[in-house]
Chain A
Amino acid sequence: MVNFIIDGKKISAEKGTMVLEAARANGIDIPTLCAHEAVSRSGACRLCVVEMKKGKRAKIVTSCLYPVEEGIIIETKNERVMNVRRLVLQLLMARCPESDVIRDLASQLGVDAQPRFAADEDKSKCILCRSCVRVCEEVVGVSAIGFSCRGADKAVSTPFNEDSAVCIGCGACAFICPTGHIEMETTEETRKIWGRTFKMKTCDVCGRYFAPEDQLKYISKKTGVPLKELAVCTNCR
């Protein structure tokens, strides 16, 4: 076990635990937008930063990626930390003025919008947390979406913004998106996402539409389970 201090509280955790998990396990809340249990860590949003003191040195580290170390002293809410969080939230509010999630989080942390930053009109609600890209690659395994461009022009998209040939319409990206940026429209028979319309499959038992056909084919191919056995919805299994 590793012993350390977070916000004045003596804590011990197993080697390899990230500061974020150690804090949360002890009732200390650290805000995040890009750390999701289903996917690997990226450290992109920078909201979870904390100050770490080791000996004389104090530096800002990313709590979702920083493994606990013996004797370190972590502060999760001091002014230096809050200066980063305030900036990040103000920047995200300016980028995604329509996002309720960002606005609510800012208000919880007592952060007001920065009038000096002109609101963007072209970024919609995407904060580039990368959760969608990671879930598509790591969990689903199709990598239908990725990033295009860099800097302020960086965007999540299918390759060359064309309809993705490999997307299976599973909707994991829309599900994991923290701000509701990814649009997925599901009617009875069809599902629209990333510019493509997927045909839904009916359950062999109850007859309800429950999953895109492409998704079931993909699962069958990946797991070796015959497609027929997958044609039953979760309620009827």
Chain B
Amino acid sequence: MKKISTLDDLKKAGDKGLKSLFPGSVKIVVGMATSGIASGAREVYEALSAEIKKRKLPYILTGTGSMGMDFIEPLVDVIEKDKPRLSYGKMTIDKVPQLIDQIVKGTIDKIKPIYRVDEEDIIAKKEKKQYLKGALPEYLREIPAMYDIPFYKKQVKIATRNCGIIDPENIEEYIARGGYLAAQKALTSLSPESIVEDVIKSGLRGRGGGGFLTGVKWQSCVAAKGDIKYVICNGDEGDPGAYMDRSVMEGDPHSVLEGMIIGAYAIGAQEGYIYVRNEYPLAVANLTKAISDARSRGLLGKNIFGSNFNFDLKIGKGAGAFVCGESTALMASLEGKAGEPRAKYVHTVEHGLWDRPTNLNNVETWANVPVIVARSGKWFSEIGVPHSTGTKVFSLVGKINNIGLVEVPMGIPLKDIIYDIGGGIPGGKKFKAVQTGGPSGGCIPAKMMDLSVDFDALWEAGSMMGSGGMIVMDEKTCMVDLARYFIEFLASESCGKCTPCREGVRRMNDILHDICAGHGQEGDVEMLESMAQGIVDGSLCALGGSAPNPVLSTIKYFREEYDAHIKQKHCPAGVCRALIRYEIAAKKCTGCGVCAKKCPSECISGEKKKAHKIDQKKCIKCGICMESCKFDAITVK
């Protein structure tokens, strides 16, 4: 591989990448992030490959990361010379021959694209690059432009700028979109101090949960005494339902590398680690390839860009402990010790990995850095709101139509994410609440829909930004059961080092289980609140310190549900099995017998064409009967 050591080298590599991104012939790109693979992208890719081969077509076929539209995966993009890039959703093997037919014929027939992209906004270079040359062909007029469809309209992509566009295994495509330009600029023409200053000016706050000012953290690490310093990327994303960092590592690994090269140069670190959970095999593979490619191109190693700056990266694989997302536990794990946190009265920027000054940021934070350096801190600070600048990536999951990965400017109203981007709640149900910040975050009720999504507003509402998980709940979600779920998760993920977290969270879990099972006692809510205070105050690290949040926020906003469980032994949402019963309304039942056939415990009986009955003693409350009834004759109370 040819080394890249000058701006000219970088431009040459970028030109190659541009040819591959904007090819002269037909190019088909399959979304091959984990979200795509899970929906069958690999099969679609193979079918496309076979079809192209069969017809002896000169088409190029590659993979890319996630564009974010997980609800219509697998996504396939088609790029033809001088025409807009077209995105097709919900691709299946069966549709492959038809799609190829359409490309060959140059029409749109049965398979319609979701959207078209006329030009790419290359944010790191402040450039636009056209797919479409000349007028939009007649047959594409009815296809909406990407940023006109509601899912994308309010999104601004900085951290995920390349995800779903470039081939993550192709360093030249990354370079073509402005990649490594910021590193080149930083290493050859900027002083470390000026970079730190600019990152401070950008207002960038840590995207991993703490929300600490990134530039200020860097500054403390610069000031720390020591010849050897480290930078670390925290890719141990462990919140249930969260996959923002995974998407960046899978879809655009070089953005993380470049951010770390710039950070290391600014701080004076010679070595860095990317700590990524081993449950993310594709992220591990793509990062490994990216590091190897960057090294063979001279972008890692000695004398990068002829600047005398040396820096190299290693990957540390996490073994599946949620607590290892906590910085001191992560560093212990990297050192080969058990992942347990320590008190942070001595900061890791002074005494971190192997007791050396260490600067740790998460994946999304690092991915933002190259764009800040390329476009300036001032530019970044003008996006978002004053104390929460830039954008934030969220994984929008749960009871929402458009499940996916979204990147929005900070300060966007919550309702815009739920209704405009998320497309509202499926099945005509009512929106109830959204859990932000993962298991240690909190629930924000529907009545606070106008809340500005930024660090401070979320904190004041009793939740937190966290790393960006956003789990949507509808009216059929029991908030006590939800709190129980998160507390159970945290009890099993507590490292067990300190008493309040190890013992306290599991006792809260016991009480919540009791409440859900109909054994709640008067005073349990007050007891939970008092324990929560003790656990928040008394725990050694942030896992215990924030563990009671799901309980506290659900008590704060949904106290009546706790009371119903405890006093009336009733679960208003119809979820907690011990407190509900399924009944067949005789008037509505047609006696079709479908429910009786589907019931796994054979507890439904009745004569044909006459109202059926449920034997409550045998009923296991699985709800299959209610789902299978076409006449809405079965209710849960």
Contact = CB atoms under 8 A, between A and B. Distances in A.
Nearest to A61: B345
Nearest to B533: A83
A44 interface: yes
Nearest to A62: B343
A94 B503 CA distance: 9
B588 interface: no
Contact of B499 (A45, A83, A149, A150): A45
Interface string A95-131: 1000000000000000000001110000000011010
27 contacts: A43-B343, A45-B498, A46-B538, A49-B538, A84-B500, A84-B537, A84-B538, A87-B500, A87-B534, A88-B500, A94-B503, A116-B507, A116-B521, A117-B510, A128-B496, A128-B497, A146-B338, A149-B496, A150-B321, A150-B494, A150-B496, A151-B492, A151-B493, A151-B506, A152-B502, A152-B503, A154-B497
Contacts of A91: 499-500, 503-504, 507
Interface of A: 42-47, 49, 60-62, 65-67, 80, 83-84, 86-88, 91-92, 94-95, 116-118, 127-128, 130, 146-147, 149-154
Most chain A CB atoms below 10 A, which of B495, B500, B521, B530: B500
A65 B531 CA distance: 23
Contacts of A86: 534
B342 interface: yes
Contacts of A116: 507, 511, 521, 524, 527
A137 B538 CA distance: 27
A149 B495 CA distance: 8
Given A116-B527, A128-B496, A147-B496, A83 B503 contact: no
A83 B534 contact: yes
Given A46-B539, A94-B507, 19 more contacts: A43-B342, A43-B540, A44-B498, A49-B537, A49-B538, A60-B537, A62-B540, A84-B500, A84-B538, A87-B500, A87-B531, A87-B538, A91-B499, A117-B507, A127-B499, A128-B496, A150-B496, A151-B493, A151-B494
B535 interface: yes
Interface residues of B, number: 35
Contacts of B300: none
B345 A152 contact: no
Interface of B: 321, 323, 338, 342-343, 345, 491-500, 502-504, 506-507, 510-511, 521, 524, 527, 530-531, 533-535, 537-540
B504 A154 contact: no
CB-based closest 8 A-B pairs? A154-B496, A87-B534, A91-B503, A84-B538, A60-B537, A151-B494, A65-B343, A46-B538
Contacts of B531: 87
Most chain B CB atoms below 10 A, which of A61, A65, A146, A151: A151
B484 to A, nearest CB: 16
Nearest to B497: A44
Contacts of A62: 343, 345, 540
A43 to B, nearest CB: 5
B338 A44 contact: no
A60 B338 CA distance: 26
Nearest to A151: B494
Contacts of A61: 345
Contacts of B323: 150
Nearest to B532: A87
